[in-house]
Structure 1
Amino acid sequence: MSEAEPIVVSVEIDDPALADRIVALLGSVPGLRLAAPGEAANFALISRERPKALEPAEIELTPRELDVLALLAEGASNKAIARQLGISVHTAKFHVGSILDKLDATGRTDAVAHAARRGVINL
């Protein structure tokens, strides 16, 4: 019976200390082999440093936009937002668009996710 080929693992981690720890751990696992630089691997462990999240103070939402964002987090439609805040649907759409721009979001759900990650709202 022949021995199975080892699984080749590439480690691409920006943090040198973390990379050294991972390499040391993986180096002792039977059936794994670390890939040489430039060598094709069966899979890769990749970790890039995350860009610093914006502090809530760096995101300047108006009090009304914060009200709209809270309703977005509840899944409210533009019509429901307008009704709840006593504004027109057009104004609700305007506020939603402004929030998407300020949070650099691609949609309503993305805006809520960005806001939660940045500490603008708590879910």
Structure 2
Amino acid sequence: MSGEGLPVIVVAIEIEDAAVADRLASALGEAPGIRLAAPGEEAAVALVSRGPPNVAARTDVELTPRERDVLLMMAEGASNKTIARRLGISVHTAKFHVASLLDKLDATGRTDAVAHAARLGVINL
């Protein structure tokens, strides 16, 4: 038990990126009720890095620069008319780009496309 009567939670940090591991250790080291595990010590909680996001999933979606522009505007909630106006294209062409994005991202709608793109690392929200 810690001095405040809280149970002590032993946390192991198993993260390959040393800078991230050091930042976590520094932040957790000062938290009440948490103690960092010694090397080889069993811990109640382990923070483990699983490596980079699925790189294959990120590279299988290739967007044109224009599609990327349209996707970013979709993420802002822009309508086809707004997208067309901002890009200097017709509404028909904006609709074409949106449809292409839905197909490439295997999405059921605009929101789904933005969510898929964010999960795949295609855009950062």
Shorter-chain-normalised TM-score: which range? 0.5 to 0.7
Matched-pair identity in %: 76
Equivalent in the alignment of 2:32: none
Is 2:101 the counterpart of 1:107?
Answer: no
Q: How many residues get paired?
A: 72
1:90 and 2:92 matched: yes
TM-score calculated relative to the size of structure 2: 0.55
Match of 2:65 among 63, 66, 74: 63
State the TM-score, normalizing by the size of structure 1.
0.56
Task: Provide the rounded CA distance (Å) in 2 between the counterparts of 1:69 and 1:116.
Answer: 10
Q: Deviations over 1:79-117 (max 9, x none)?
A: 000001000000000000000000000000000000000
**Structure 2 unaligned spans of 5+:** 1-52
* Structure whose alpha-carbon radius of gyration is higher: 1
The separation in 1 between residues aligned to 2:99 and 2:109, in whole angstroms, is 9
Which amino acid is 1:62 matched to?
T
Question: Is there any run of 5+ residues in structure 1 with no aligned partner, and where?
Answer: 1-51
Work out the CA distance in 1 between the residues paired with 2:94 and 2:84. Answer: 6
Aligned to 1:18: none
Taking only aligned residues, the RMSD between alpha carbons, in angstroms, comes to 1.4
